[in-house]
Structure 1
Amino acid sequence: MTAETDAAPTAAAATVAPGASETPDHANDVAPEASDAPDASDVPDEPAVPEPRGTRLDAWWARMLATPRRRALWYWGGPILVTLLAAVLRFWNLGHPQAIVFDETYYVKDAWTLLHHGYESSWPEGADEGFANGDVNTYLDDPSYVVHPPLGKWMIALGMAAFGADSAFWWRATTALAGTVGVFVLMMLARRLWPSTIVAVIAGLLFAVDGNAIVMSRVALLDNWVMVFALLGVWFVVIDRSWARERLERGLAAARAAGRDPHYGPALWSRPWLIAAGAAFGATSAVKWSGLWFLAAFGLYLIVVDALARRRAGVPLYVTAAILKQGPVTFLLTVPVAFAVYLASWTGWLATDGGYDRHWAEEPANRATGFFSWVPTALQSLWHYHQSAYQYHVGVHSEHPWQSNPLTWLVMGRPTNMYFASTEDGSGGCGADTCWSSIMGIGNPLIWWAAALACLYLVYRLARYREWQVGLILLGLGAGYLPWLMYLDRTVFQFYSIAFEPYMILALAAVVRLILGRREDVWWRRERGIATVGVYLVLVLLVSAFFYPLWTGIPITPDFRQLHFWLPSWG
């Protein structure tokens, strides 16, 4: 109640008081029943009691984080605990199965020959079984025709370089490490988007326990490296956002203090996080060419962000400045760095003589003439190799039993079955005569389907509120997903979605943050939000525990396996 309304009853009483002395006593007599029900105007106003804010849980949490040391412990301890959980789920029994799984037949053996030859070489027929049994040196000197850049295979090779190729654990170890690092980086990015450790921890937890992320960390394929390098690049871009804004404001302040009118603002060259982002996106592209879409998308994003920052800072020609002044600088700080990282990944092919088509341009009929004749023949051969690989990629139309249409990826229309084994003699370890072991890239349905809905909601939210966090999340999702819609008739697989899954998780975290509300919210709204999120997370953990055997090749009965196929297309 305001001061004016609080004073109103007092003023009214003062007005009436003088007249009362002039009124006969009997004039104020009233019937007994009337006196039992006084008029509302005769009752003084009661001050309104504000609804309580927050909950007892909020109060307890505030006491728990009452000291700087406790806040620092939570700030780092929460993400570290989630990262450790992710590591356990990814590294536990990682050597099972001791067999070449799905496309490991390419990447594990290619990685091993890269270590020995510097290029990917061929293997005799039936080499998979021998490799899994420890006969790892039957490779040939002849080069193998591969269609992906070498960096992802070099990363797979690191574990084998340190500990050998006799155990499947070591040819999968670095991929599991990449998946674990991805969970930590996702939390750091989430905390950059929203200054909330609890939202970051929830995002990391969802990524840590999701089946698609776990499976892609437990098989030595390339796509987990696409995910982690791209995620690092996006994190660096977000760090650069605040770094550049501070230096822009500092440069504008200095110019205005010197009496200069900054029509364009300064060109910012000192942007180390931008250089790091260029390197990360270059590494993404050096694993698979799909990484180029992240470089292109966030290169444009940087120009838009710079234009908006200059507009907020009062730069009159902010669009021209962002495109023509800062734009070329941004390009030079990212694209050449990305290209250098990409080219460096081919060092083994360039420095040796045995790689596929390594000497193609040395043939007089193939050598470039005219303007490009100065280009070294090794680089000409590499360019020809890239042309050939691109034609292969766009022309892959062979049927595969586990291929999936990209239009169904967001709802997991056709997860990939990467491994299957059966025992019929009771020795499988599942407690029955028949035991089946599978590794299927089925994400946790409660995470994936909720995340798909969250992505749709964020499209609306971006149009309605224009939040920069929402825009960045959708840009990451679009860079990883939308290009595949151009290849609907190509043979592709659901597990490619690991490249954009972090942004689906961030979209879900954005909605979780809205449901949780704020400590300043009224108690009942805050209580409902906390309860809703709490119940959801418990259900997510239970579903992940239910699906974990299907993600890790644990022997189960056929009937129990069938219970995991929640859509007909999963079986």
Structure 2
Amino acid sequence: MTARSTTSAALRWGVPLTITALAAVLRIAGVGGPSELIFDETYYVKDAWTLGNLGYEGTWGEDPNPAFEAGDTDGFTEEGSFVAHPPLGKWIIALGMALFGPGPTGWRITTAIVGTLLVPLLYIVAKRLTGSAGLAAAGAALLAIDPLAVSMSRIALLDTHLAFLVLLAFWFALLDRPGAVAAIRKGVERDGIAGPVLWRRPWILAAGATLGLATAVKWSGLYAIAVLGIALVVADAIDRRRAGATRWVESAIGYQGPASFVLLVPPALVTYLISWTGWLTTTGGYGRGSSPNPLVALWNYHRAVFGFHQGVTSDHTYASPALEWIPMLNPTLMYRTTDEAGGVGLMAALPNPVVWWGGLLAVAFLAVRLAIAVVRRRRVAGPEAFVVMGILATYAPWLLLPSRTMFTFYAITMLPFVILALLVAVQRIRAPRDPAPLPDPTLEEIRAEQERQAASSEARRAATNVILLGFGAVGLFFLPFGTGWVEPEILYRAHLWLPTWFL
């Protein structure tokens, strides 16, 4: 192995591992503080503890938190508790308490690990999407220090688990693309009318199973299943048209569509049902006795939960409808402390503002590029489609529920796709432009135009590098809002860029 190849291999592995190590330190170190239950930990942690002890969520007496925080974890009863979310995310929290005990470290450690793993996963997806290790490293670094990603990894809520599983499923769908395209081309050569039915798509099976797990964390995983299913049909139609199939629309919808449904949805249903094993195999869970048939009883329970979600419209200081997430008008404050010198520390669901706002502009830019490509029947760009699909799965459905009580920490599922949009937009900006047409150019004019294009490309690369570095600097500046580090009041107030932030 040459010195150059050794250096290349060290960079190829060393950079993402270093970024992952940074993410781990920011998420895991000191995860046991604060020592009290923060924000919605009051629900999920105690539910997780009873899941581990009963197999289902039990009920607690009046004001159980002080005793639980002090280590008295026996204040629950065997009576089943009505809970609004499926059990998988709480089982993940319960695993940490099984390993480290029912203290703050135990109830937060698995979320911190999942939040850490989200960083190298983003690196892998970004590298495949852009083909650039440098852009992938930039995206992973921005996620590693993002205050929303850090805070949501240091508190035992469900949304970080959901974000990881949704991105993982979309990565599996990305891995399916080369094999599917090649198989369609080969099949159209044999059948030029409709093309083949593809059943050997293990990555779609994996995506379906993973989205079943995502739905077992929160029902919003269903949106991702729906978006990915539609995207599979659309992509299949486009691939068949490019391959030369004459009935490409009919074959994509009526021919491959049912097969894709079978590959995607039943695996999701299986993994979702597996997550309910504890409830199904015991008798004390809420609503478990509504029918002798455990699956019918589970269906009855789901009907009750669906009715609950339809009516979640209570007022809350930090309630924030989905439209407000774009400017981040009312980010969720999850923890706040002060010291004797007047310093302020807090943990908040506020992303790095320049990454968030810049990334959303990038989403709009890519959506326009995608729309133009579709209208003009140009080759549809895969990275643009992937990003738009991710945003549709993680954000657009919330716009359909304007009266429901929502919070900005739901946006953690969007954040990886917002960062990916930023990376793809940077790559598009850096891309060489078509040379200006010259009538009967001389050799000198061709060389001058090539030099001009090279200088322009280098300037764009330098400018985008400076922008990415600036985004990273802002991320470091806002990092205390993710970790809860106490800052002098003057520095804390320097972070309040909008008048609605935490005053």
The reply to whether TM is greater than 0.5 is yes
Q: 2:177 aligns with which of 227, 241, 248?
A: 241
Deviation of 1:545 after TM superposition, in Å, equals 2.5
* Alignment partners' CA distance in 1, 2:28 and 2:460: 34
What amino acid is aligned across from residue 282 of structure 1 in structure 2?
Answer: G
Aligned to 1:42: none
Gaps of 5+ in 1: 1-64, 256-260, 363-376, 427-431
1:450 partner SS = helix
Q: 1:146 aligns with which of 83, 86, 97?
A: 83
1:142 partner SS = strand
Aligned to 1:79: 16
2:367 aligned with 1:459, yes or no? Answer: yes
Q: Considering only CA atoms, is the larger Rg found in Structure 1 or Structure 2?
A: 1
Q: 1:273 aligns with which of 203, 206, 215?
A: 203
Q: 1:384 aligns with which of 300, 315, 320?
A: 300
Aligned to 1:178: 114
What amino acid is aligned across from residue 127 of structure 2 in structure 1?
Answer: R
Deviation of 1:515 after TM superposition, in Å, equals 3.5
Q: 2:188·2:194 contact (CA, 8 Å) conserved in 1?
A: no
* Alignment partners' CA distance in 2, 1:456 and 1:310: 28
* Alignment partners' CA distance in 2, 1:531 and 1:252: 44
* Alignment partners' CA distance in 1, 2:315 and 2:259: 46
Deviation of 1:523 after TM superposition, in Å, equals 4.3
* Alignment partners' CA distance in 2, 1:342 and 1:514: 39
Q: 1:439·1:552 contact (CA, 8 Å) conserved in 2?
A: yes
* Alignment partners' CA distance in 2, 1:265 and 1:71: 42
* Alignment partners' CA distance in 1, 2:323 and 2:205: 34
Q: 1:203·1:509 contact (CA, 8 Å) conserved in 2?
A: yes
* Alignment partners' CA distance in 1, 2:388 and 2:47: 35
Q: 2:151·2:481 contact (CA, 8 Å) conserved in 1?
A: no
Please report the TM-score for the alignment, with normalisation by the length of structure 2: 0.90
Deviation of 1:460 after TM superposition, in Å, equals 1.6
* Alignment partners' CA distance in 2, 1:505 and 1:223: 17
* Alignment partners' CA distance in 1, 2:7 and 2:243: 37
Aligned to 1:320: 250
Deviation of 1:181 after TM superposition, in Å, equals 1.5
Q: 2:318·2:332 contact (CA, 8 Å) conserved in 1?
A: yes
Aligned to 1:124: 61
What amino acid is aligned across from residue 126 of structure 1 in structure 2?
Answer: D
Aligned to 1:538: 469
Q: 1:436 to 1:280 in 2, by over 3 A?
A: same
197-206 or 241-250, which deviates more: 241-250
Aligned to 1:370: none
1:487 partner SS = coil
Aligned to 1:258: none
* Alignment partners' CA distance in 1, 2:84 and 2:260: 30
* Alignment partners' CA distance in 1, 2:368 and 2:33: 44
Q: 1:96·1:553 contact (CA, 8 Å) conserved in 2?
A: no
Q: 1:311 to 1:67 in 2, by over 3 A?
A: farther
Aligned to 1:6: none
Deviation of 1:300 after TM superposition, in Å, equals 1.0
The superposition leaves residues 65-111 of structure 1 with CA deviations (integer Å, 9 ceiling, x where unpaired) of 99444444333333222222221221122111111000001111111
Q: 2:224·2:393 contact (CA, 8 Å) conserved in 1?
A: yes
Q: 1:415 aligns with which of 320, 326, 331?
A: 331
Aligned to 1:398: 314
Deviation of 1:555 after TM superposition, in Å, equals 2.2
What amino acid is aligned across from residue 290 of structure 2 in structure 1?
Answer: W
Aligned to 2:228: 298
What amino acid is aligned across from residue 428 of structure 2 in structure 1?
Answer: L
The superposition leaves residues 190-210 of structure 1 with CA deviations (integer Å, 9 ceiling, x where unpaired) of 222222111211221222221
* Alignment partners' CA distance in 2, 1:198 and 1:558: 37
Q: 1:436·1:556 contact (CA, 8 Å) conserved in 2?
A: yes
Q: 1:178·1:228 contact (CA, 8 Å) conserved in 2?
A: yes
Q: 1:263·1:316 contact (CA, 8 Å) conserved in 2?
A: yes
Q: 2:413 aligns with which of 474, 485, 499?
A: 499
Aligned to 2:98: 161
* Alignment partners' CA distance in 1, 2:254 and 2:4: 49
2:335 partner SS = strand
Q: 1:307·1:319 contact (CA, 8 Å) conserved in 2?
A: yes
Aligned to 1:485: 399
What amino acid is aligned across from residue 412 of structure 1 in structure 2?
Answer: M
Q: 2:188·2:244 contact (CA, 8 Å) conserved in 1?
A: no
What amino acid is aligned across from residue 420 of structure 1 in structure 2?
Answer: R
The superposition leaves residues 422-470 of structure 1 with CA deviations (integer Å, 9 ceiling, x where unpaired) of 34xx3xxxxx2x3433111221111111112111211221123342211
Q: 1:411·1:452 contact (CA, 8 Å) conserved in 2?
A: no
Q: 1:560 aligns with which of 485, 491, 503?
A: 491
Structure with more contact order per residue of length (Cα contacts < 8 Å, sep ≥ 6): 2
Q: 2:147·2:483 contact (CA, 8 Å) conserved in 1?
A: no
1:411 partner SS = coil
Q: 1:308 to 1:70 in 2, by over 3 A?
A: farther
Cα RMSD, aligned residues only:
2.0
Q: 2:273 aligns with which of 343, 366, 371?
A: 343
Deviation of 1:188 after TM superposition, in Å, equals 1.4
Aligned to 1:135: 72
Deviation of 1:307 after TM superposition, in Å, equals 1.6
Percent identity between the two aligned chains: 43
Aligned to 2:422: 508
2:76 partner SS = coil
Q: 1:400 to 1:463 in 2, by over 3 A?
A: same
Q: 1:122·1:143 contact (CA, 8 Å) conserved in 2?
A: yes
What amino acid is aligned across from residue 55 of structure 2 in structure 1?
Answer: G
Q: 1:123 to 1:558 in 2, by over 3 A?
A: farther
* Alignment partners' CA distance in 1, 2:79 and 2:52: 15
Q: 1:252·1:265 contact (CA, 8 Å) conserved in 2?
A: yes
* Alignment partners' CA distance in 2, 1:123 and 1:558: 39
Deviation of 1:163 after TM superposition, in Å, equals 1.8
Deviation of 1:230 after TM superposition, in Å, equals 0.6
What amino acid is aligned across from residue 75 of structure 2 in structure 1?
Answer: T
What amino acid is aligned across from residue 321 of structure 2 in structure 1?
Answer: N
Q: 1:213·1:443 contact (CA, 8 Å) conserved in 2?
A: yes
2:395 partner SS = helix
1:219 partner SS = coil
What amino acid is aligned across from residue 127 of structure 1 in structure 2?
Answer: P
Q: 2:328·2:350 contact (CA, 8 Å) conserved in 1?
A: yes
2:156 aligned with 1:220, yes or no? Answer: yes
Q: 1:448 aligns with which of 353, 356, 369?
A: 356
Q: 1:185 to 1:378 in 2, by over 3 A?
A: same
Q: 1:322 to 1:71 in 2, by over 3 A?
A: farther
2:334 partner SS = strand
The superposition leaves residues 226-268 of structure 1 with CA deviations (integer Å, 9 ceiling, x where unpaired) of 1111101100001011121223334455x4xxxxx44222211
* Alignment partners' CA distance in 1, 2:193 and 2:350: 54
Deviation of 1:219 after TM superposition, in Å, equals 0.7
Q: 1:123·1:138 contact (CA, 8 Å) conserved in 2?
A: yes
